[in-house]
Structure 1
């Protein structure tokens, strides 16, 4: 088996995540044309306009991640929709890569981000990704496209070809970073 290439997990910021999509959980916008409201009892503001693709119905999923493997050897992508992931019970590591013109993972763009509770990410369509939990199980809220969920579930359950998603093997990469992150991942 080839030696795994190190992949450093970095903090999530709007600027560093921009090639893959949008950071969620930014502070209240001080000067914004988007709808917002602030009062002593509550604040709200538009964080992102989600695009489920042409004729797509958005869907909220409850996802439990348990994969704590430091090695990354496959990625998935969804062709038609954005996909948002918001950790609720613990932090996750989101591994992402852009697509080549041919629709394959662009390994030159491969990056990993620590996504804490209280923040989240929204990936662009065609963004290759994988998720790792930093504790035994992490529950996340996911916003995606209803037909993409159905298509992927049928593929994973029956082996039927997926039309709205793809899963690809990649050469091995090993997550690296701060000692607390490495301690949280198993199989060190």
Structure 2
């Protein structure tokens, strides 16, 4: 019989440009004609064919046992509609994220995030029964560039975003 997993509670903070900087950038609406910004410069889909699509997700309770990273592309996510959501991340550049590397961010309505190449992530998480997200990555990201790290195997925990 397998031992039950311990619960690791991960507090949620509202995202800001400064707190999210180690993981990527946040994008908020700007006036048409606004010059190119450093926040947009992190986007890199040069490693293949860009895929821009609407991703539909169901029942994303705020808990996880694994994190994922993409080494060949950035990933941009934004909820469709005027709703908030949450994502958990750990910094790029580490092969095995520790529990204290994890941070959870509340993403307000009308806000997108672009995660740097290699940023570990779990989510998006949300309270609705289902949600749609705009997703920009590469056409084969989930096939050839989907690297997982199992927190349950490594640390015997399931992470609950609180």
TM-score, normalised to structure 1's length?
A: 0.71
Map of 2:7 onto structure 1:
4
Distance 2:53 2:99 in 1: 28
Deviation (angstroms), 1:106:
3.9
* Contact 2:86/2:105, CA 8 A, preserved across alignment: yes
Q: Deviations over 1:3-43 (max 9, x none)?
A: 211101110100000111111116x5xxxxxxxxx5xxx55
Q: Which runs of 5+ in 1 are unaligned?
A: 29-37, 152-162, 177-188
Q: Which runs of 5+ in 2 are unaligned?
A: 152-156
1:85/1:74 Cα in 2 relative to 1: closer, same or farther (>3 Å)?
Answer: same
Distance 1:44 1:99 in 2: 29
* Contact 2:17/2:25, CA 8 A, preserved across alignment: yes
Aligned: 1:138 with 2:131:
yes
Distance 1:122 1:76 in 2: 15
TM-score, normalised to structure 2's length?
A: 0.81
1:106/1:61 Cα in 2 relative to 1: closer, same or farther (>3 Å)?
Answer: farther
Q: Equivalent residues in 2 for 1:10-159 (5 A)?
A: 10-25=13-28, 28=30, 42=32, 44-46=34-36, 47-49=39-41, 50-54=43-47, 56-89=48-81, 90-99=83-92, 101=94, 103-131=95-123, 132-149=125-142, 151=143
> Larger relative CO (CA 8 A, sep 6+): 1 or 2?
2
SS of the residue 2:114 aligns to: strand
Map of 2:154 onto structure 1:
none
What is the root-mean-square deviation in Å for CA atoms of aligned residues?
Answer: 2.0
- Count of matched residue positions in the alignment of Structure 1 and Structure 2: 149
Distance 2:75 2:126 in 1: 18
Deviation (angstroms), 1:145:
1.3
Map of 1:167 onto structure 2:
148
